[in-house]
Amino acid sequence: MKKTLLTLTTLALLASVAEARTWADIKSSGTIKIATEGAFPPFNLLKGKELTGFEVDLANALAKGMGLKVQWVTQPFENLLIGLNQDRYDFVIASHGITPERLRAVDFTNPHYCTGGAIVSRVGGPKTAADLKGKTVAVQVGTTYLQNVSKVPGVGSVKTFPKDTDAQAALMAGRVDSWVGDKFTGLDLVKAQKGKLVQGALLFNERIGMAVKKGNSSLLKELNSALAKAMQDGTYAKISGEYFGQDIRCR
Ligand code: ARG
């Protein structure tokens, strides 16, 4: 009896320190578990109960190419890479810029798109980095926008919001002078606000990739080849065109 108990305890311990699922594990299970935020239009968003957006469609297409079903998980942006390192899902696709800091925690695929962080203000508001002197800027927490805006010389206060859409709302409500976010998101926002907002300067460029747990090289390799194939066979261009009217791959 005692022996059985001990064995069970040992098993439970082993399970809790289990490694990330390798490509072979995922393949034999038939389902890949993918995490995103679901609040970052037009890249990943929840429309009612339906998860959609450029990255959602792209990841679904990649999984299809790999012969797998998908199980989606949504998490607040700040928790996504932590959950990855706790083996809660196989990979993350949530517009993460490939930065040296993040590369210390996770591994990234080849970039699935290239973009940058741009200023958006109400008409007459700040347009350049120099204009941000002494101004209040809204950004989503844990992002490269926060990192880069904080470096602008003389910037006033930087206000962080759990969700990017909340940071945008603060700009629209007049609680901040500017919002810094993705340049494509900014274009959509300016368009939707019909003449109330303007997009200003691009503060930085970034390459966006999918994250796997550090060391999960078998999955990384499969994702990279699925992405390369989608980029070659027209799948990528079609999805990108639907969301952006252009192909946003890195060149
Ligand atoms: N590209 C920015 C970064 O790397 C923002 C990503 C935000 N993604 C999201 N799903 N909210 O930090």
Domains assigned to the chain: 23-114+208-244 (3.40.190.10), 115-206 (3.40.190.10)
Residue 12: pLDDT band with limits 50, 70, 90:
very low
Top mutation candidate among 102, 115, 144 for ligand 1, by most atoms within 8 Å of CB? 144
For residue 99, report the distance from its CA to the centre of ligand 1, in Å: 12
Top mutation candidate among 140, 160, 179, 185 for ligand 1, by most atoms within 8 Å of CB? 140
Q: 144 in ligand 1 pocket by Cβ < 6 Å?
A: yes
Q: 75 in ligand 1 pocket by Cβ < 6 Å?
A: no
**pTM given for the model:** 0.92
Residue 46 pLDDT > 90:
yes
Average of per-residue pLDDT across 87-106:
98
Residue 214 pLDDT > 70:
yes
**pLDDT for position 18:** 56
In the numeric block, the tokens 């844990």 are attached to 142
CA distance 229 to 176: 43
> Does residue 104 come out as left (phi exceeding 0), alpha (psi in the -120 to 50 range) or beta?
alpha
Interface ipTM > 0.85: yes
Q: How far is residue 202 from each of residues 118, 147, 148, measured CA to CA in Å?
A: 4, 14, 11
